[in-house]
Amino acid sequence: MQVLTTTLAGVLLLEPTPHRDDRGLFTRTFDDETASRAGLDPRSFVQDSQSRSVRGVVRGLHGRTGSGEAKLVRVAHGAVHDVVVDARPGSPTFGRWEAFLLDDVDFRVLHVPRGCLHGHQTLTETSDVCYRIDAEHDPTEDVAVHHLDPHLGIEWPQPVTVVSARDDAAGSWTRLVDRLSSR
């Protein structure tokens, strides 16, 4: 497994080497030693979650205030356009976003650090996205920014077909920045 840096501070892409043959494939989706060498504490991840979505669905942009949460994100089935927004005041990449293709071909795993917003759009008929999270969920810390926020200008590759009522009612990037700066 290889660890790749990205343009966002602390965001890492872990790239496994799937072994393919006439039966299909086998791949390692997490490796304790690789994570440790990359500066991650493998024992810190306390929760695994999964979402299933249909083509065009956007989930996010979600994050947490307070101590936040870090997560490892991968796709077990299908493909997604995965987006991370740096919402960490003081970070050299604050306010910037980067997109990644996560799929069931390359099996890349994305490390999203604490303080970042995260979302994705399903590019295939269905997708199963798996999350390994390093903090118990505290709904009082949940924050969301609308996926079409003009200040962020995120480019979604397909027409957006469905978003949840919560995500559709999400606030603006400007409002989140004001909230973060008043802490």
Q: Which positions are catalytic?
A: 62, 131
In order of 16, 44, 56, 114, 130, the CA distances from 10 in angstroms are 19, 16, 28, 9, 20
Strand-pair partners of 129: 51, 75
Q: Choose among 89, 113, 100: nearest CA to 173.
A: 89
Q: Which residues pair with 75 in a beta bridge?
A: 129
Name the CA radius of gyration of the chain, rounded: 16
* Residue from 60, 62, 54 nearest 137 by CA: 62
| Torsion sign (Cα): 30, 158, 50, 78 | negative
